[in-house]
Chains A and B, each alone.
Chain A
């Protein structure tokens, strides 16, 4: 069974902290994505990566960075967390033939 695993389901961090959200996929997919989900706004793309060490900005990259050192792992980094980054974060992956994305369970981040 295909699997995208996010390291934490719930996180509480303080304003100004550096936060790492980790995502691992076991499907050997080339493409990985980070979305942010907020009520009434749907899913918005933060960053995506189509290969190791490659990254592309999505629609809302400000305040975020990403790292992809290995094919299976894609990390989202909040350099200095702020309260407006309190949200649900969803990681996804897809291969280079199909466009269907497989999603992790999500990380609900609260910044206080």
Chain B
């Protein structure tokens, strides 16, 4: 069965420091991969997605993620965190080439930013 693991429940990063949020997936083939962000009391916003091609994907708000097939990982990174990045982050997967399939989400990582 497909699954997504986000090993870190809560991370605190100093403002201006770099960030890496981890995501590992379990799936028989290369899936479609996504990162979403949720600010308090809000819905989810897509940060970036990987379907195929270049394994380093650029997203909105200065985020990027790297797909590593050998490690079944899709970690999210940002070189310099801003206080407004404090939110909950979700990694998600879906079967490739099956458009419209429901996404499977990890349990999320809460990011706190200290000044």
Interchain CB contact under 8 A, A97 and B99: yes
* B21 interface residue (CB < 8 Å to A): no
A43: contacting residue among B42, B49, B105, CB under 8 A:
B105
Interchain CB contact under 8 A, A100 and B34: yes
Interchain CB contact under 8 A, B99 and A42: no
Binary interface encoding of chain A residues 85-109 relative to chain B, with 1 for a CB under 8 A from any of its CBs, else 0: 0000010101111111111111000
Size category of the B interface is 20 to 34
Interchain CB contact under 8 A, A99 and B100: yes
Contact (A95, B100) CB under 8 Å given A42-B107, A105-B42: yes
* A74 interface residue (CB < 8 Å to B): no
Shortest C-beta distance, B37 to chain A (Å), equals 11
Instruction: Give the interface of B toward A (CB within 8 A).
Output: 9, 32, 34, 36, 41-46, 49, 90, 94, 98-108
- Which residue of chain A has the shortest Cβ distance to B97 in the bound complex? A99
Instruction: Give the interface of A toward B (CB within 8 A).
Output: 4, 30-31, 33, 35, 40-45, 48, 50, 58, 90, 92, 94-106
Q: Which residues in A have their C-beta under 8 angstroms from that of B42?
A: 105-106
Interchain CB contact under 8 A, A103 and B44: yes
Question: How many angstroms between the C-alpha atoms of A78 and B14 in the bound complex?
Answer: 43
Question: How many angstroms between the C-alpha atoms of A4 and B72 in the bound complex?
Answer: 32
- Which residue of chain B has the shortest Cβ distance to A98 in the bound complex? B99
Known: A99-B32, A100-B34, A103-B43. 4 other contacts (CB 8 A): A30-B100, A31-B102, A42-B108, A105-B42
- Which residue of chain A has the shortest Cβ distance to B95 in the bound complex? A99
Question: How many angstroms between the C-alpha atoms of A95 and B32 in the bound complex?
Answer: 15
